[in-house]
Structure 1
Amino acid sequence: MLKTGCQWNCLPPCYGSKSAVHEHFQRWAAAGVFTEMFRWSAADYEELEGFELAWQSMDGSLVQAPVRQAHCRKDEGLGRNPTDRGRSGGKIHLQVDGKGMPFAVVQAGANVHDSRLVTVTVEAAVIAAPAGTQQGPRHLCLDKGYGYERVEREVAGLGYVPHIRKIGEEKRPGSAETHPARRWVVERTFAWLKGFRAIRTRYTCRGANYLALLQFACALILERRIKANSA
């Protein structure tokens, strides 16, 4: 279902009735099973590969959400998408390491500005101490949408060195060796996430269910990287 985005009633009969499968999924989501799954996968990746936390990136990405129930749009992390004629939409906000490996993800309405989701995303990390430690500072790369003084103070208060390109700021001279691009990895991770149709278009009404799918997808990305590197 995560890969194809199919409806519950389209699942093969071998999995049981659609109502039973959906009920178990919602119970697992409410119990935090998918959060723990994400945490376990992150722990496996940290042990076998190691997160590159010196330089991290964060960004948000909009998704369509053709959910018809009016109460869902208000109470379940949905809002009017300003880039889609005001239709219902959601937002994925993601934090990744230097290789683009995800370790924090939240969901919100499409009308919530990215700059309002920095702290909540950092707090959603499934690994220990992603911010600065005694081993040295850790840097957080953000795009122009975060170019506010309050965001710089917020990021610094969270223990990071902020790197935010200001609106209208010219590109700094330098080569890939002296000033390597670092923020682009989060965009690639969004592409990986949206390879799952259930992520690319949000069909779930409940925000907790969509977050569970996001965490499941992030866990799969980590496990696939572990498998690829061990082959």
Structure 2
Amino acid sequence: MTDDLVPDDLWERVEPLLPAPPARRHRSPGRVRTPDRVALAGIVYVLRKEVAWRDVPAMLIGCSGVTSWRRLRDWTQAGAWPRLHQVFLTELRTAGKMEMDGCAIDGSPIRALKGGRGVGPSLVDRARPGSKHHLIVDPARTPLAVSPTGGNRHDVTELIPLLDAIPPVPGLRGRPRSRPKRLFADRGYDFDKSRRLLWKHGIKPVIARRGAPHGSGLGRTRWVVERTFAWFHQFKRLRIRYERRADLHQGLLELACSIICLRRLRKAF
């Protein structure tokens, strides 16, 4: 079961990024520490199956859900997930499967059943507690950066923070890329200020105009971000926000980004 949830090509990239286990404080051996790969399998199981941490089948996975949750907390605090995502982005660019000339950005609202930090009244769900995923992808549907906010946050407020969250991606000759040349967005980003900020960052804005009739053809370019959102929703834990802690929810989002990048990398060879 562990090998199915955490295959070798995923584990060989994750293992060097995990912090070293704490040193024992006593001479007695005590309880044997659960291997990191087994704990990661529990995290991936929850990400895929949308079960509570306490309901993780310990006999099937090899560890309890509480142990997996603690490793998720520790590894999130150590910054393992954004570094893992950057590793996969670098490999994709090296393999020629990533391009940043024209990227697309959008937001997707979800429900937040347990509240917590970064949760607000949803604008599309009768003001129920909700959150929103903001995502930017390249033309090949590769997730470059993702961030969660409250459900009442406007998409345009995360425009520049999401661009700044794109890590510098090496892999080819020249400087690492961290900025697209063009950015495609829907009418929710149609503000003069957002266009000025994009031009200031050296990015050409291609944003649909509010009030203009549909059929401009921009949807043929922007659909890639909607496709990536569909990939995210294949991870059932991300359809509804259950984590009260925003950093743990962000960690699960970044882990999902890495798994999506791994799937694309497998098709590159």
TM-based fold match above 0.5: yes
Q: In 2, distance between residues paired with 1:149 and 1:35?
A: 32
List runs of 5+ in structure 1 lacking aligned partners.
Answer: 133-137
Match of 2:208 in 1: 165
Q: In 2, distance between residues paired with 1:93 and 1:167?
A: 20
Larger radius of gyration: 2
| 1:71-150 equivalences in 2 (<5 Å) | 72=116, 76-126=117-167, 127=169, 128-131=176-179, 138-150=181-193
Match of 2:41 in 1: none
2:78 aligned to 6, 31, 34, which one?
31
SS in 2 for 1:186: helix
Percent of matched pairs sharing the same residue: 29
Shift of 1:172: 6.5
Q: In 1, distance between residues paired with 2:148 and 2:196?
A: 23
- Contact (CA 8 Å) 2:98, 2:142: kept in 1 or not? yes
- Greater CA deviation, 2-11 or 41-50? 41-50
- Contact (CA 8 Å) 2:141, 2:227: kept in 1 or not? yes
Give the aligned length.
215
Alpha-carbon spacing, 1:109–1:180, altered in 2? closer, same or farther (3 Å): closer
Output the TM-score relative to the length of structure 1: 0.87
Calculate the aligned-residue CA RMSD, in Å. 1.7
- Contact (CA 8 Å) 1:66, 1:88: kept in 2 or not? yes
Output the TM-score relative to the length of structure 2: 0.76
2:237 pairs with 1:211: no
2:94 pairs with 1:47: yes
- Contact (CA 8 Å) 1:93, 1:114: kept in 2 or not? yes
The code of the aligned residue for 1:165 comes to: A
Shift of 1:216: 0.5
- Contact (CA 8 Å) 1:57, 1:183: kept in 2 or not? yes
Match of 1:154 in 2: 197
